[in-house]
Amino acid sequence: MGFCRSVTVALAVVLGCSAAASAQQAEETQPSSTEAIEAVPLNPDAIPVNLSRIQKALSRPPAIRPESVRPVYRVTTFSLKPTIDDILGPNCLQGPPPLGVMSHQEFLDLVTPTDVKGYAAFDNKQAVVVAATSFALSWAVTTAMKKLDEAITDRQKEAARKEVAEALAALKKARREAGLPE
């Protein structure tokens, strides 16, 4: 809709300008003699535009009403969506980083004090002892948790068996009291 209106307005301006220019040119080239110039008859059907459509389009209120007198330009770009290879280049995932770029490990080595780096507080013998005790503690806690879960499930199973046995006993008692066979 906006494009058609723009084309229509542009066409009307061009036709208006050409009519004004031809009128001005006709005034300048009028002969000084009183000879009458024959007017060329204009056939409206021969014009390659539809004047009624132009007039109709111009009679409607404009779709865009700018708040300022500054011109507004709109641009539409049609292209393919760029891929990561288009942006970074085809070899972005190959090879080492450029010379002078710091790696993550180098950054961590820079900002981490030596006292808190891994087993830095221990020598090798003490580090083995700490690792072994940590593993043993982890295994003991895991085993205890499994046994606790098994005890809970065993206790729940026993409670369920007891509840079923009590319900069956109550059913037998009720059948006996009602005089029904077991």
Report how far residue 3's alpha carbon sits from residue 10's, in angstroms, rounded to the nearest whole number.
10
CB atoms within 10 A of CB 151: 10
Q: What is the number of structural domains in the chain?
A: 2
Q: Sign of dihedral through CA atoms 91, 93, 96, 101?
A: positive
Task: Give a yes or no: residue 77 inside a domain.
Answer: no
Determine the structural domain holding residue 48 and report its residue range: 1-27+44-63
Task: Give a yes or no: residue 92 inside a domain.
Answer: no
- In the chain, pLDDT over 90 holds for what percent of residues? 5
DSSP, collapsed to helix, strand or coil, labels residue 90 as: coil
Answer yes or no: is pLDDT of 25 > 60: no
| pLDDT, position 24 | 52
Answer yes or no: is pLDDT of 146 > 80: yes
Task: Give a yes or no: residue 10 inside a domain.
Answer: yes
| Side-chain half-sphere CA neighbours of 85 within 13 A | 3
Confidence of residue 87 (pLDDT cuts 50, 70, 90): confident
For 27, residues 6+ apart whose C-beta sits below 8 A from its C-beta are none
